[in-house]
Chains A and B, each alone.
Chain A
Amino acid sequence: LAKTTQPISMDSYEGQEVNITCSHNNIATNDYITWYQQFPSQGPRFIIQGYKTKVTNEVASLFIPADRKSSTLSLPRVSLSDTAVYYCLVGDLYNQGGKLIFGQGTELSVKP
């Protein structure tokens, strides 16, 4: 399983775009990159997943460079309700026993 490194915390203001970068230098060929969001007193919630280039959904975008050794989660125009911990997970989810292994996460604080 590839080790991930992400900032421990980030601060932002409402309406700004937030980019959280995750490093995963040892990513394997079959690994996918997945981001989860966790609010206090709740379980993690899936945000987005990608393999290469760019993936966009109604919530976020995920940018993955050609070497796949890092990825960036982009949250457009954040609001106070986006204050949460964001986890970057890397792995071959379908063949590693299906396990999700969480790293330290990034605590995002959005201020008014």
Chain B
Amino acid sequence: SAVISQKPSRDICQRGTSLTIQCQVDSQVTMMFWYRQQPGQSLTLIATANQGSEATYESGFVIDKFPISRPNLTFSTLTVSNMSPEDSSIYLCSARVGTEKSNYGYTFGSGTRLTVV
């Protein structure tokens, strides 16, 4: 199955700054996703990022705060903009791999633990 390399694995940032998280997949994938996970909580979907189209955001998440790039079929970035302590969380990327015939699977990066001070 596909492997996702996500970086940075963790960072401590000053409020008001921005952080860009990168995810590299070792195979070409059409669909990628970005999640946020608060400590001890479940994953919340931020947006879907398909190559060649604008990212689709879930309710409560906006492009100005979480701009996403998807320049090709193996790479995506999520930027957390103008950070505040409330943005402290784990951010994960995911990719859908496989085909409908072989059954789709989903693989996840190991996450970025962000602390905003």
Q: How many residues on chain B are close to A (CB under 8 Å)? A: 24
Chain B residue with the shortest CB-CB distance to A95: B100
Chain A residue with the shortest CB-CB distance to B9: A41
Q: How many residues on chain A are close to B (CB under 8 Å)? A: 19
Q: Report whether B45 and A93 are in contact in the complex, using a CB–CB cutoff of 8 Å.
A: no
- Cα distance A78–B31 in the bound complex, in angstroms: 34
The answer to whether A100 and B106 touch (CB under 8 A), given A43-B94, A87-B42, is yes
Q: Is there a chain A Cβ closer than 8 Å to B62's Cβ?
A: no
Chain A residue with the shortest CB-CB distance to B103: A49
A-B contact pairs, 18 of them (CB 8 A): A41-B113, A42-B111, A43-B4, A43-B92, A43-B108, A44-B43, A45-B108, A46-B105, A93-B104, A98-B31, A98-B48, A99-B48, A100-B94, A100-B106, A102-B35, A102-B45, A103-B42, A105-B42
A residues within 8 Å of B by Cβ?
41-46, 49, 87, 93-94, 97-105
